[in-house]
Amino acid sequence: MVTRLLITQTLVLVVGLGTAWAVATLVGPPLFHQHLQQGGHSGPPTELKHVEDAFASASLIALGVALAIALVTAFVVSLYLTSRIQRPLAELAGASDAVARGQHVRVAAPRIGSEFDRVATAFNEMADRLDHVEVTRRRLLSDLAHELRTPVATLDGYLEGLEDGVVAWDEETARVLREQTGRLVRLVEDVGDVSRAEEGQLQLDLEDVPVPVLAESAVTSARESFSRKGVDLRLELGSGPRDVVRVDRQRIAQVLSNLLGNALRHTPAGGRVTVAAGREGEDHVVISVTDTGEGIDPHQLGHVFERFYRGDTARDRDHGGSGIGLTISQAIVAAHGGSLTAASDGVGRGARFEVKLPVREDATGAGSAMTVG
Ligand SMILES: Nc1ncnc2c1ncn2[C@@H]1O[C@H](COP(=O)(O)OP(=O)(O)OP(=O)(O)O)[C@@H](O)[C@H]1O
Ligand SMILES: [Mg+2]
């Protein structure tokens, strides 16, 4: 790199000096001669020639010295610049190799220009992202292994018991085995759903649905299990039939059933769960599920959407959930261009989940008019 830089600089120098040379030899002397004559210089011709020769050699010496100094300067500058650029570049190349080998390496900003600093920042960001993906991948695998262990161990234990004749094949055994295989099947489906949703490959079968219809059918499906547990289920419709969203009906039903299932699980008998639907601003509708149940600790609130995350109470008390329901729900809502958020005033003070969806374009008044016919 030093050589290339030096060659370019020398080239520029040579062209510059060549031009100066041409001016000094072709234009300079006649001009000088003319000035001498105009100045009324009237010495003998030999003296005139001597003066002109002196001028010519002074110009040449000046040019020669300038060339030498410029060349040395160019060499020193090239050397300096290259060493400044080469060090961070080598560092970056080394860091890239290290990251490719899976090591945790970051580079410092070289401080030789904003472009170089930007490259360093971009490199560090890329490395951070790779790290994050790697951590998530490892955690996902270990969580998955953990989730698979329980049902597989139960199945294995029962099968062994059946083989040894310790366990009898009866209705109860069949129920337990079914329950465990069911759990495995659901887990596989859930994990598949999460991956697809997070990769943005969820197949959405979109149709226009009025928001009240979504809320009503979710409440109707859940009514039976709520009354069995003795939890009051209410529907509050603050939105009209004009509030239409373009959604995959089944998927949104899955989200709402998830939220209602959670609310029911975490609300003791005698409590109340309210489903409300209404407009928020011009472009969005919100369907909320609010319960008067056990609430969520502020520290846990930030984690409830993480894969396989289950709160302490959920872990202890029932073994049904795998902690993936909210992850899927959030991914589904995000795939619709909406958002799913959680709020709670703390343990014992209930929880509130909000599904926010964009109103179908025509319904905001901003879209094109519908054509009939
Ligand atoms: N309404 C709620 N009240 C209190 N805690 C809740 C509520 N909804 C969710 N949570 C907490 O968030 C955690 C994650 O919920 P999520 O729906 O993802 O998993 P899950 O219900 O445990 O299992 P799954 O939905 O996969 O069957 C729950 O384990 C629970 O601790
Ligand atoms: Mg759930």
Residue 372 pLDDT? 38
Q: Is residue 277 part of a domain?
A: yes
Residues 348 and 243 in one domain: yes
Residues 6+ apart with CB under 8 A from 219: 233, 235, 260, 275
Residues 214 and 175 in one domain: no
Q: What percent of the chain has pLDDT over 70?
A: 92
Residues 272 and 317 in one domain: yes
Residues 32 and 91 in one domain: yes
Fill in the amino acid letter for 55: F
φ and ψ of 281, to 5 deg: 70, -160
In angstroms, the CA 138 to CA 192 distance is 17
Q: Which of 173, 198, 223 is the last residue of a domain?
A: 198
Burial of 145 (C-beta count, 10 Å sphere; 0-12/13-18/19+): exposed
Beta carbons of 71 and 77 less than 8 angstroms apart = no
Burial of 169 (C-beta count, 10 Å sphere; 0-12/13-18/19+): exposed
Q: Is residue 283 part of a domain?
A: yes
Residue to mutate, 313, 319, 326, ligand 1, most ligand atoms under 8 Å from C-beta: 326
Q: How many residues are recorded in the chain?
A: 373
Q: Which of 198, 226, 252 is the last residue of a domain?
A: 198
Q: Which residues pair with 353 in a beta bridge?
A: 289, 342
- Pocket, ligand 1, Cβ cutoff 6 A: 258, 262-263, 266, 291, 293-294, 296, 304, 309-311, 314, 321-327, 351
Beta carbons of 361 and 367 less than 8 angstroms apart = yes
- Residue-wise pLDDT for 175-204, tens only, equals 999 999 998 998 888 888 888 877 777 888
| CA of residue 178 relative to chain centroid, distance | 40
Q: Which atom of ligand 1 is nearest to the CA of 328?
A: 18
How many A from CA of 219 to the centre of ligand 1? Answer: 18
**Above 90 in pLDDT, residue 244?**
yes
Instruction: With cut-offs at 50, 70 and 90, classify the pLDDT of residue 320.
Output: low
Residues 6+ apart with CB under 8 A from 108: 91, 120
- 68-90 mean pLDDT: 86
Residues 187 and 65 in one domain: no
Residues 350 and 306 in one domain: yes
Which residue has a Cα nearest atom 9 of ligand 1? 262
Which residue has a Cα nearest atom 25 of ligand 1? 325
Q: Which residues pair with 277 in a beta bridge?
A: 237, 287
Residue 2 pLDDT? 66
Higher-pLDDT residue of 370, 224:
224
How many A from CA of 315 to the centre of ligand 1? Answer: 10
Q: Is residue 370 part of a domain?
A: no
Q: Is residue 110 part of a domain?
A: no
Neighbours of 283 (CB within 10 A): 15
Q: How many domains does the chain have?
A: 3
CATH number at residue 224: 3.30.565.10
**Above 70 in pLDDT, residue 324?**
yes
Residues 141 and 236 in one domain: no
Tokens of 78: 């090239």
Q: Is residue 373 part of a domain?
A: no
Residues 134 and 89 in one domain: no
Ligand nearest to the CA of 324: 1
CA count, 13 A, side-chain hemisphere, 99: 20
**Above 90 in pLDDT, residue 208?**
yes
Burial of 298 (C-beta count, 10 Å sphere; 0-12/13-18/19+): exposed
Among candidates 277, 273, 256, which has minimal Cα distance to 264?
A: 273
In angstroms, the CA 151 to CA 182 distance is 9
- The SS3 of residue 244 is strand
Residue 314 pLDDT? 58
Residue 373 pLDDT? 34
Residues 53 and 94 in one domain: yes
Tokens of 89: 């570049």
Residue 140 pLDDT? 79
Q: Which atom of ligand 1 is nearest to the CA of 325?
A: 25
Q: Which atom of ligand 1 is nearest to the CA of 190?
A: 26
Which residue has a Cα nearest atom 17 of ligand 1? 325
- 39-57 mean pLDDT: 79
Residues 279 and 340 in one domain: yes
Residues 194 and 283 in one domain: no
Q: Which domain holds residue 357?
A: 206-364
Residue 364 pLDDT? 55
- Residue-wise pLDDT for 83-102, tens only, equals 888 888 999 999 999 999 98
Beta carbons of 257 and 285 less than 8 angstroms apart = no
Q: Is residue 369 part of a domain?
A: no
Residues 6+ apart with CB under 8 A from 98: 105
- 36-49 mean pLDDT: 77
Q: What percent of the chain has pLDDT over 90?
A: 46
φ and ψ of 249, to 5 deg: -60, -45
Beta carbons of 264 and 231 less than 8 angstroms apart = yes
Residue to mutate, 146, 226, 262, ligand 1, most ligand atoms under 8 Å from C-beta: 262
H or E, element range at 195: helix 171-198
How many A from CA of 364 to the centre of ligand 2? Answer: 32
Tokens of 3: 């050589």
| Cα end-to-end distance, the chain, whole Å | 71
**Above 70 in pLDDT, residue 363?**
no
Q: Which atom of ligand 1 is nearest to the CA of 314?
A: 29
Q: Is residue 343 part of a domain?
A: yes
Beta carbons of 316 and 228 less than 8 angstroms apart = no
Q: Which of 181, 198, 215 is the last residue of a domain?
A: 198
How many A from CA of 147 to the centre of ligand 1? Answer: 15
| CA of residue 356 relative to chain centroid, distance | 21
The alpha carbons of the chain give a radius of gyration, in whole angstroms, of: 39
How many A from CA of 129 to the centre of ligand 1? Answer: 28
Ligand nearest to the CA of 190: 1
Q: Is residue 358 part of a domain?
A: yes
Residue 371 pLDDT? 36
Residues 354 and 213 in one domain: yes
